[in-house]
Amino acid sequence: MGLGGCIILIAVGAILTFATDWNMEGVNLDLVGVILMIVGLIGVTTFSSIARRRRVVMPPTAPVVEEERPHHRRDGYSDGYGV
């Protein structure tokens, strides 16, 4: 789950906790909202700590060696452009 998913969990949890008046038998929506917000916050902290540790390592560049091409081919033709 990425950062966006964690933020969505926090938003849905806040909506369930603070903005709804639904009453479901056997389900406490306020508690479900608080749990979603806590899980979202744990995800955000985990994601940010992993992103902070991640470092980009550039591979060493190899030197570019240019070879000199002969002007004429062995079969008597030039490089194919009619010259």
Query: What is the rounded distance in angstroms from the CA atom of residue 49 to the CA atom of residue 43?
Result: 10
User: For the CA atoms of the chain, what is the radius of gyration?
Assistant: 31
According to the model, what pLDDT value does residue 51 have? 79
pLDDT in tens, 18-77: 998 888 899 999 999 999 999 999 999 999 888 777 766 667 777 777 777 655 555 555
